[in-house]
Amino acid sequence: DAGVTQSPTHLIKTRGQQVTLRCSPKSGHDTVSWYQQALGQGPQFIFQYYEEEERQRGNFPDRFSGHQFPNYSSELNVNALLLGDSALYLCASSLVGAPYGYTFGSGTRLTVV
């Protein structure tokens, strides 16, 4: 049973560029959340998608946007990259209505130079 799959695993981008990160949820899950984890910090909630809609958003600028597809997979897009966007981006999937049972992927490590 495949868990959460994220791609790519590593990425290097230049300031000002745009990036797209991808996430395939665990089989049977219908909700996808994205987190940003800066070096030495705990993950910070970016947003959650359910039924192809953004259901909740954390304290992140509009440069961060997302999408969920009918097969429940999701993309995180970041525009106008800043050096401070360098982080590990984690995707977590879950089943709506379940109070817990979040499954995380291994993340995409983004470096902005």
Partner 1 sequence: AQKITQTQPGMFVQEKEAVTLDCTYDTSDQSYGLFWYKQPSSGEMIFLIYQGSYDEQNATEGRYSLNFQKARKSANLVISASQLGDSAMYFCAMREYGGSNYKLTFGKGTLLTVNP
> Which residue ranges make up the site for partner 1 (CB under 8 A)?
31, 33, 35, 40-45, 48, 55-56, 58, 88, 90, 92, 99-100, 102-107, 109
Q: Minimal distance in Å, beta carbon 53 to partner 1?
A: 12
Nearer to partner 1, 55 or 67 (CB): 55
Cα gap 26→35, rounded to integer Å: 16
Residues ≥6 apart with Cβ < 8 Å to 98: none
Distance CA 100, CA 103 (A): 9
**16 versus 36: smaller Cβ distance to partner 1:** 36
